[in-house]
Amino acid sequence: MSIGKLIAISAPSGCGKTTIAKAILAKHPEILFSVSATTRPIRNGEVNGKDYFFLTKLEFENRIKDGGLVEWEEIYGNYYGTLKSEIHKALDNGRSMMFDVDVKGALSIRRNFPKDSVLVFIEPPDMEVLIERLKNRKTENAETLKRRLDRVPMELEQGSQFDFKVVNDDLDAAIAQVDEIVKKIL
Tell me the pTM.
0.85
117: phi > 0 → left, psi -120 to 50 → alpha, else beta; which? beta
Domains of the chain: 6-185 (3.40.50.300)
Parallel, antiparallel or unpaired: strands 117-123 and 78-83: unpaired
**pLDDT score at 2:** 60
d(C-alpha 134, C-alpha 123), whole Å: 14
Select the more confidently predicted residue: 145 or 122. Answer: 122
pLDDT at 100 over 60: yes
d(C-alpha 3, C-alpha 37), whole Å: 25
Burial 135-160 (b: 16+ CB within 10 A, else e): eeeeebeeeebeebbebbeebbebbe
Element (H, E) at 110: helix 103-112
**pLDDT score at 130:** 87
Average pLDDT for 130-158: 85
Question: Could you read off the pLDDT of 60-93 as tens digits, one per residue?
Answer: 999 999 999 998 988 889 999 998 988 999 999 9
pLDDT at 157 over 60: yes
